[in-house]
Amino acid sequence: MPYQPLPSSHNPPLTAIVIGAGLGGCATALALHHHGHRVLCVLDKVRAFGRLGDSLGLGQNALDLLAKWGCPVDEIKRIGNQAPNMTIRRWRDGKELAVQPLMDMAGYIGHRGDYHDVFLAWVRQRAIPIRMGCEVVAYDDVDPQPIITLKSGEQLRADIVVAADGIKSLARPLVLNMQDDPISSGYACFRAYFRPTAAQKANPKINKYMGADCVNFWIGPDLHLVQNTLRGGDEFNWIITHKDDGDVPESWFQPGDMAEVRRLVQTLDPDIRGIIEETESCLDWKICYREPLPTWVSSGTGRIALLGDSCHAHLPTSAQGASQAVESAGVLAVCLDQIAESGDVRVATRCYEKIRFPRTRMSQRNGEDLRDRWHGALKTVEEDKEIDPEDVKIKNRWLYSFDAEEDARERWNEVRALVAEEIRRGKITPLC
């Protein structure tokens, strides 16, 4: 049967504008549309998307929701890494420390740009307009519809505005009045994604991990390397997380210093070192995080809500940044279903933030825990002490078997009562 969205629980349906057409913004548009809300448009400030970023994971928790929203998730699975397992290895010699199913980690690891293309296509298939080159510069939090102003001067309004505008969110200072203070994690990532040449693929000194899809991690004291080979060996990605001395700017596009990379890998397993040394160029990403926010929702009308990296960015080791944005989209859509009328949008958004906050914190902490376990584990293995594989395994499974929408429905009455009481008293309890 052809896909049909659910009927709206409101007459007329609630209208929404989504800011940011990244994976979080696309997921929001898909979820709201599926639940019968009317997405007027998705806005993005860039004029066109390139194939940006490199490896990104989508977990089963996200894919199950997307499938419910009528998205043919096989399109994601097909272009993700097909390896059944991943191996965690010792930095200096590649000794196997643990082998576990790839699904334990990120679920489906693929190129962020390719996944993004699929998400954008799904949004377009639902005839939701994606307006490129539309930068939002101002928010006016007024009832009954907040107004957003674009750089061009154009103004738009809807019953709810969702700001999925990324880690450098403008909504965070403008809507929440929160300073955007990136906190360095003390680490940065050198990252490269390229097509190995025929000569490289044929060279037995460097081609050990190029023959087929595979994922390996080499962990060492205060650094680790991720290798991800995709498309049967046609695409190759490595990411080295290293100590950041404070001189790496926070940017997705900062060029990395290959001389520094070559110095770092001098002590690395020779089976993988060669291809890294031969890599022509890389990027250097500072890994920053933000303090958890006490609220994700505008204080006046509650009709502007943040979602995704703008309010719950993750470390790369969590492999859940995009998946948690998908969960948030589903929960927001469910909360909007539950309210009786458009005048109650603030109840929906307050419930959304209360339901989502603890889960995103647990997921964020999971990523921090893994990084610390990896970087700590090899401090003793250098003394040739055996490592318990459980100490270095990725423990993301518990995150996957979770239906965020179902959870929101189950908890709705309890959370709604709490929110109604807080609104009545005129005092919203901060999330943290």
Ligand X SMILES: Cc1cc2nc3c(=O)[nH]c(=O)nc-3n(C[C@H](O)[C@H](O)[C@H](O)COP(=O)(O)OP(=O)(O)OC[C@H]3O[C@@H](n4cnc5c(N)ncnc54)[C@H](O)[C@@H]3O)c2cc1C
Q: How far is the CB of 239 from ligand X (least distance, A)?
A: 8
Q: Is 256 one of the binding residues for ligand X (CB under 6 A)? A: no
Q: How far is the CB of 320 from ligand X (least distance, A)?
A: 9
* Residue number with CB closer to ligand X (117 or 135): 135
Question: How distant, in Å, are the alpha carbons of 48, 58, 167, 253 from that of 189?
Answer: 26, 20, 16, 12
Q: How far does the chain reach from its first CA to its final CA, in angstroms?
A: 45
**Number of shown-chain residues binding ligand X (CB under 6 A):** 31
Of 59, 80, 146, 166, which one interacts with ligand X (CB under 6 A)? 166
Of 125, 252, 358, 385, which one interacts with ligand X (CB under 6 A)? 252
Q: How far is the CB of 164 from ligand X (least distance, A)?
A: 5
Choose the stretch contacting ligand X; rule: CB under 6 A; options: 17-25, 138-146, 200-208, 213-221: 17-25
Q: Which of positions 94-123 make contact with ligand X (CB under 6 A)?
A: 112
Q: Is 45 one of the binding residues for ligand X (CB under 6 A)? A: yes
Q: How far is the CB of 47 from ligand X (least distance, A)?
A: 10
Q: Is 164 one of the binding residues for ligand X (CB under 6 A)? A: yes
CB distance 237 to 193 below 8 Å: yes
Nearest by Cα to 324 from 310, 336, 337, 303: 310
Q: Is 348 one of the binding residues for ligand X (CB under 6 A)? A: no
* Exposed/middle/buried for residue 50 (C-beta within 10 Å: 0-12, 13-18, 19+): exposed
CB distance 62 to 107 below 8 Å: yes
Q: Is 24 one of the binding residues for ligand X (CB under 6 A)? A: yes
Q: How far is the CB of 105 from ligand X (least distance, A)?
A: 12
Q: How far is CA 317 from the centre of its chain?
A: 11
* Residue number with CB closer to ligand X (206 or 276): 276
Sign of torsion over alpha carbons 336, 341, 342, 346 = negative
Of 13, 17, 22, 81, which one interacts with ligand X (CB under 6 A)? 22
Q: Is 284 one of the binding residues for ligand X (CB under 6 A)? A: no
Of 56, 98, 160, 348, which one interacts with ligand X (CB under 6 A)? 56
Q: How far is the CB of 137 from ligand X (least distance, A)?
A: 7
Q: How far is the CB of 100 from ligand X (least distance, A)?
A: 19
Helix axes 345-381, 321-338, angle to 10 degrees: 160
Place of tokens 């020779």: 270
Q: Is 52 one of the binding residues for ligand X (CB under 6 A)? A: yes
Q: How far is the CB of 118 from ligand X (least distance, A)?
A: 13
* Residue number with CB closer to ligand X (88 or 325): 325
Q: How far is the CB of 248 from ligand X (least distance, A)?
A: 15
Q: How far is the CB of 136 from ligand X (least distance, A)?
A: 4
Q: Is 161 one of the binding residues for ligand X (CB under 6 A)? A: no
Q: Is 325 one of the binding residues for ligand X (CB under 6 A)? A: yes
Q: Is 202 one of the binding residues for ligand X (CB under 6 A)? A: no
Of 44, 159, 235, 353, which one interacts with ligand X (CB under 6 A)? 44
Return the number of other C-beta atoms located less than 10 Å from residue 181's C-beta: 9
Nearest by Cα to 311 from 20, 6, 13, 7: 20
Q: How far is the CB of 168 from ligand X (least distance, A)?
A: 7
Q: Is 308 one of the binding residues for ligand X (CB under 6 A)? A: yes
* Residue number with CB closer to ligand X (220 or 308): 308
Choose the stretch contacting ligand X; rule: CB under 6 A; options: 14-22, 65-73, 95-103, 345-353: 14-22
CB distance 242 to 235 below 8 Å: no
Q: Is 332 one of the binding residues for ligand X (CB under 6 A)? A: no
Q: Is 367 one of the binding residues for ligand X (CB under 6 A)? A: no
Q: Which residues bind ligand X (CB under 6 A)?
A: 19-25, 43-46, 52-56, 112, 135-136, 164-167, 170, 252, 308-309, 316, 321-322, 325
